[in-house]
Amino acid sequence: MKYNTKKLTLTALFAAIALIIFIIEAQIPLSFSVPGLKLGLANIVTLLILFLGGSWKARDAFLVLLVRVLLAAFITGNTMSFAFSFAGGLLALGVMLAVKMALKDEAIPVVSVAGALAHNAGQIAMAALYMQSTSVFAYFPALIAGGIISGLFTGFAVYYLFKKHPKFIGFIGGKK
Amino acid sequence: MKVKILFLSLVFLLSGCNKSSPPEPVSRTDFALGTFVSARVHGENAESALDEVFARLFEIEQLASAKNPDSELFYVNQNAYEREVTVSEELFYLLETGLFYSSLTDGAFDITLGSIVELWGIGTENVAVPDAEELAEALENSGFRYLVLNENELSVRFWKEGLRIDLGALAKGYAADEMKRILLENGVTNAILDLGGDIITISDNDGKGWRIGIADPRNLGEICAIVRVSDKAVVTSGDYERFFVQDGVDYHHIFDSATGFPADSGIISVTVIAESAMLADALSTAFFVMGVERAIEFARTMPEIGYILIDRDMNIYNSENIEIEIIR
Amino acid sequence: MKLSGKKNIVCYCIIAVIFAASLVVWYFIYNAEIENPVAKIYKNGVLIEIINISDYDLRFSFTVGTPETGINEIKVKNGEIWVGGITDCLVQTCVKTGHIGSNGRTIPIICVPNRLEIRIVGGENIHELDAVAR
């Protein structure tokens, strides 16, 4: 894996952006959500990197994810939240990769929704494991609905980034 | 349900003008002695009787807690080896009764296991299987035979430095008996008290008897038997009440004075039905330690008490003198 | 890069169906009338208390847990149970879940940081009894 200065800087920038989104997201009150669970808006960065192409590979997305959850854990001092975010983020990354490969016509919102659902499934599974209880799954339908909305939102956001700002995409090393 | 409400309101309407109609039962719940205490009381002075009952409960909590540094018992535990400690009549009565039950059950129930209870720390943050040497030392220093009570002076003396009295089980039974006494003094006609699962009843619930469920020890929240009692206490001790798990082994809170370890007699739940909650409390612990055969043997000497023993294989053994319905 | 296409349309349809289904299921989970509700309180996966919530007309409250394991204050009144007061968890979602036990609100209250859970279940057996010895 070769990193030039530009890519290294961009990777760090992506991690920082993901972290900011992650922190802002934690402030949004969601009365129906299960504690410790997030909608997964920070996945937008993973999604963007997956679709950039060019010199950007899945492993870069993984690296950004790892840096983001590690920093979040350091900032909040909460190891539990680390486990939850990592499980959700990793599962989202894996599922997005798989769905992207299955649907060869690069449907960003669809991939994004699949990622958001996987993200919530990963977190709820962690919560059930941690609580030693299956009651957490009572919240699953709410999180599926929420995941679809947030997945569509992040999906269309990335889609319009590609469509309206091809120069920017080119600048950060993605294929046009 | 609706029919029942309709019927009740009908009865209420019909009896509305009748002065001699019994007042509605009064219920109250509070948190004391480390558990929920709730009471349902029928009688003229139910409200004021309950005020008195709960006030008394907090007094007993102050008296008999081994952990509270302000309690009289704590003072006794700290000083009774150095010198003779004179205690209140009430604490003396508790110690005397505890000592009597200890010798009656030959140590199966033992009020002097305080240092062993402390060492295991069940219910605290420092819960763990103790070091073998420490446990042997605590065991060496425990035993009701090292507790000496002087009836004339109302004084207490320990013969071993490490002796610690724990009235955990007994205090709850004592509190229940005291609550019953106060309610009776206040002219309460029917009542049922629940001290964290220790049940005590007054009278026969207007002839219906009190229907008490017995917790299923391996299926919490469910019951495995129902007994009908009048004017009796029903106390259950089980390995499921308080326990912790270390290296895949469950350790519960009822200790065997012979080993210093949680009792491993094959019994997982004991219910004792007796006139006095204090006796029922002590005997339920003792039976738990004794095991099925010894407990049944022992119970023959006390024909007035009833028991339900449940062993590891969920076999239920009960005395003939109780009205019981076993649910499978 | 496009949004239409046969595969895409099929995917959006599937997403729409899942969305609708999850809302329907959520509605039923959220509005499940339970006869004779009883609250079971679990801490660290262990059942620690069963409360006959409809027995209490006057409000009473108690705390569960220690500063180490996290404290939740639980309140009961008129067949409802909820978390509030001195509850030391960062997210406070257990508090936001609100009152459960009546009006078909039977969604469990879950406090993940403190590993606390309050479940509403039907207590048919317990209700016919005057008390349960345990």
Q: Residues of chain A whose pLDDT is less than 50?
A: 31-32, 176
Higher-confidence residue: A110 or B169? A110
* pLDDT interval class at C117 (50, 70, 90): very high
> Beta strand pairing status for B316-318 and B223-229?
unpaired
Position C134 in a domain: no
Q: How many domains in chain C? A: 2
Contact across the interface for C134 and B238, Cβ inside 8 Å: yes
CA A72 and chain centroid, separation: 14
- C15 and C52 in a single domain? The answer is no
Classify residue C81 as exposed, middle or buried by CB count within 10 Å of its CB (0-12, 13-18, 19+). buried
Model pLDDT, residue C5: 76
C111 touches chain A (CB under 8 A): yes
Q: Which of B98-112, B120-134, B288-302 has the lowest mean pLDDT?
A: B120-134
Q: What is the CATH number of domain A5-171?
A: 1.10.1760.20
Position C132 in a domain: no
The yes-or-no verdict on residue B278 having pLDDT over 50 is: yes
> Looking up tokens 């119970």, which residue turns up?
B299
Model pLDDT, residue B199: 94
For the segment B184-190, the average pLDDT, to the nearest whole number, is: 91
Which residues of chain A have a CB within 8 Å of the CB of C29? 138, 141
* pLDDT interval class at C122 (50, 70, 90): confident
- For residue A173, the SS3 value is coil
Structural domain that includes position C8: 1-30
Model pLDDT, residue A2: 62
C71 touches chain B (CB under 8 A): no
- C46 and C69 in a single domain? The answer is yes
Q: A128: number of CA atoms within 13 Å, CB side?
A: 13
Model pLDDT, residue B45: 84
Q: C115: number of CA atoms within 13 Å, CB side?
A: 18
Contact across the interface for C133 and B213, Cβ inside 8 Å: yes
Q: Which of B38-42, B95-99, B100-104 has the lowest mean pLDDT?
A: B38-42
Give the percent of chain B with pLDDT over 70. Answer: 92
Top-tier CATH class for B204-328: alpha beta
Candidates B221, B226, B241; nearest CB to C129: B226
The yes-or-no verdict on residue B3 having pLDDT over 60 is: no
Distance CA A120, CA A141 (A): 10
Beta carbons within 10 angstroms of residue B306's beta carbon: 23
Please check whether residue C118 is in contact with residue C128, taking contact to mean a CB–CB distance below 8 angstroms.
no
- C98 and C58 in a single domain? The answer is yes
Report ipTM (2 d.p.).
0.81
pLDDT digits (tens, 9 = 90+) for B52-76: 999 998 888 888 877 788 889 999 9
For the segment B246-268, the average pLDDT, to the nearest whole number, is: 89
Position C42 in a domain: yes
Model pLDDT, residue A37: 57
- C15 and C61 in a single domain? The answer is no
Top-tier CATH class for B67-166: mainly alpha
Question: Residue A87 is inside which H or E element, if any?
Answer: helix A79-102
Q: How far is B234 from chain C (nearest CA, A)?
A: 7
Contact across the interface for C133 and B198, Cβ inside 8 Å: yes
Encoded tokens for B272: 């004792």
Which residues of chain C have a CB within 8 Å of the CB of A80? 112-113
C127 touches chain A (CB under 8 A): no
Q: Which of A150-159, B223-232, C99-108 has the lowest mean pLDDT?
A: C99-108
The yes-or-no verdict on residue C49 having pLDDT over 90 is: no
Q: Which residues of B touch C (CB under 8 A)?
A: 27-31, 36, 38, 40, 125, 192, 194, 197-199, 201, 205, 210-215, 220-223, 226, 234-236, 238, 241, 271, 327
For the segment B7-18, the average pLDDT, to the nearest whole number, is: 43
Which residues of chain B have a CB within 8 Å of the CB of C128? 211
Model pLDDT, residue B88: 94
Which residues of chain B have a CB within 8 Å of the CB of C85? none
- C61 and C97 in a single domain? The answer is yes
- C58 and C123 in a single domain? The answer is yes
Q: Look at the pTM and tell me if it is higher than 0.90.
A: no
Contact across the interface for C96 and A31, Cβ inside 8 Å: yes
SS (H, E, C) chain C: CCCCCHHHHHHHHHHHHHHHHHHHHHHHHHECCCCCEEEEEEECCEEEEEECHHHCCCCEEEEECCCCCCCEEEEEECCEEEEECCCCCCCCHHHHCCCECCCCECCCEEECCCCEEEEEEECHHHHCCCEEEC
C17 touches chain A (CB under 8 A): no
- Residue type for B14, please? L
